Amino acid sequence: RKKVTLDTLRSLRRKNEPITMITAHDFPSAHVADHAGMEMILVGDSLAMVALGMEDTSEVLLDEMILHCRSVARATKSAFTVGDLPMGSYEISPSQALTSAIRIIKEGRVQSVKLEGGTEMAPTISKITSAGIPVIAHVGLTPQRQHSLGGFRVQGKTTIGALKVLEDALAVQEAGAFAVLLEAVPAEVARLVTKKLDVPTIGIGAGNGCDGQVLVQVDMSGNFPPGRFLPKFVKKYGDVWGEGMRAIESYKAEVKSRAYPEPQHTYPMPAQELMEFEK
């Protein structure tokens, strides 16, 4: 597998071949995603919930993002890697954002950063990209702003809302973003935005008119207990939780019954030594 670069992503868009992206939060989740041939791996701040058990993304620290980015980067040979700038690490000023972006790149070893926001983040995106760090902008539903959005709501459902999404996407492209991530917007809006932009759009809950798709790995692989709430856009492609449960329950039963370990799991001792030892 060849290393995916920004040129690869641009050429996929030109060929109208969808770009595949998935989140990873540690070495094994990145390892499997990279081996499966994902073109992009995102260390999303969703790791706050899926890896750290936090309530929402607002709790995760830049240092924690960096630690996880570094383990993902070690496992990733082919995919183009993106690290999320967590809440509080980029909103204060473009220079704060650049300082944080440089840390994610230098210490986290990923290749680009993602931040949430549209028009109002344009100067920040310019600042980071002019330092040679590729930026992907996340517009539509921006989870870090859940409280000011009034919860996890679909964005761009009204004419005014749709125009805002388009305006944001155009502004971040103008500011130098190499791609635009569209979360939870009507498919028609995402399709139109994709048509109007020159850079690729990556959708999540944004229909199939985008240039690519992204999902959170623990969601799409079914790595969570039954009964958990899933957003409408998630498709469960696997049952990693069920497989883990089956394996661990079998292990438990075999330890309790002494079926495990068997001789082939055990280190033998030469008979002569054993005799000496038992004397």
Catalytically active residues, by annotation = 183
Q: What are the tokens at 114?
A: 């993602």
Q: Please choose which of Na ion, ligand KIV, none residue 211 contacts, taking the beta carbon within 5 to 8 angstroms, the exact cut-off set by kind.
A: none
Q: Is 44 in the site for Na ion (CB under 5 A)?
A: yes
Which parts of 36-55 interact with ligand KIV (CB under 6 A)?
42, 44-46
Q: Is 219 in the site for Na ion (CB under 5 A)?
A: no
Give the number of C-alpha atoms closer than 13 A to the C-alpha of residue 249, restricted to the C-beta side. Answer: 6
Which residue among 181, 182, 197, 206 contacts ligand KIV (CB under 6 A)? 181
- Residue among 124 and 217 whose Cβ is closer to ligand KIV: 217
Number of residues that bind ligand KIV (CB under 6 A): 11
Supply the minimum distance, in Å, between the C-beta of residue 44 and ligand KIV: 2
Number of residues that bind Na ion (CB under 5 A): 3
Q: Is 112 in the site for ligand KIV (CB under 6 A)?
A: no
Supply the minimum distance, in Å, between the C-beta of residue 184 and ligand KIV: 10
Which residue among 20, 23, 201, 221 contacts ligand KIV (CB under 6 A)? 23
Q: Is 45 in the site for Na ion (CB under 5 A)?
A: yes
